[in-house]
Structure 1
Amino acid sequence: MQIYDITPLGKPRQTQRDKWARRPAVLRYRAFCDEVRLRGVSLPEGGCHITFVIPMPDSWSKKKRAELTGRPHQQRPDLDNLHKALMDAIFDEDSAVWDARITKIWGERGQIRIESIA
């Protein structure tokens, strides 16, 4: 299993203007893509389980944190946007990947976990 200490980020909706405009959401997305590439994140073409660990807000109590650690994350960002952002950061053409299972859970800090299933 590969574990990367990168806070997952969903892919934002973009327009042609975003090629030159500096919207904060797009800047965060580009920084995420740069960090994924810098750390050398890789995916097998088939048979992997990707787990996105979404960090809990600082405002949550210790009791709530303990209760929700490792539990399913059922809020935004959407699962497909997280997957899209990761795939676009890793691959120029991601059509080669044909099998992946995606999960998102709560955690103390953001992570991307990739487990090969072969």
Structure 2
Amino acid sequence: MLADIDPVAKPRMTRRDKWLSPPRKCVQKYRKFADELRQSVLYDEFIPGYRLTLEFHIPMPKSWSQKKKDAMVGKPHQQTPDLDNFIKSLDAIVPEDCGIWDISAKKFWSETGRILVANK
């Protein structure tokens, strides 16, 4: 399954996030991302298995020069947000993720954001 949406790391949730109105911006952003990801899964009719491969392609900042962008395309993304926070976004597409026992995940710099989820 390939979702052409910018990956968003799952924020640290608090009890207050359930009732706070309006929700914090990071929570609003994550909830919007989760809704888009769910729609993408429904559209592709993707059924996740017990072993998954994940690739997160992080869009480069607009403030970077074209020279730096050309140099960084496809290189590993080695800064925040952490990979485990991206992996937590699986909660949006797998309601019961307790059955998943093997995950391979990577994050790269890219021109546009996208997420690749595949069964091993």
TM-score (norm 2): 0.89
Where in structure 2 are there 5+ consecutive unaligned residues? none
Q: Identity over the aligned pairs, expressed in percent?
A: 46
Aligned length: 115
C-alpha separation in 2, matches of 1:69 and 1:11: 24
Cα distance, 1:82 vs structure 2: 0.3
For residue 29 of structure 1, report the CA deviation from its aligned partner: 0.8
Deviations 1:64-113 (A, max 9, x none): 0010000000011100000001x110122111111110000000010001
What's 1:107 paired with? 110
Decide whether the 8 Å contact of 2:53 with 2:104 is kept in 1: yes
Alpha-carbon separation, structure 2, partners of 1:17 and 1:76: 24
CA–CA distance in 2 between the matches of 1:7 and 1:43?
A: 21
Instruction: Name the SS for the 1:30 alignment partner.
Output: helix
The residue that corresponds to 2:64 in the other structure is 60
> What is the root-mean-square deviation of aligned Cα atoms in Å?
1.4
Secondary structure at 1:15's aligned position in 2? coil
Distance in 2 of aligned mates of 1:57 and 1:111:
15
The alpha-carbon deviation at position 43 of structure 1 amounts to 5.5
One-letter code aligned to 2:105: I
Within 2, Cα distance between the matches of 1:40 and 1:46?
A: 16
5+ unaligned residues in a row in structure 1: which ranges? none
After superposition, residues 1-118 of structure 1 pair within 5 angstroms as 2-21=1-20, 22-40=23-41, 42=46, 44-85=48-89, 87-117=90-120
Question: Contact 1:43–1:114 (CA<8 Å) still a contact in 2?
Answer: no
CA apart distance, 1:38: 1.1
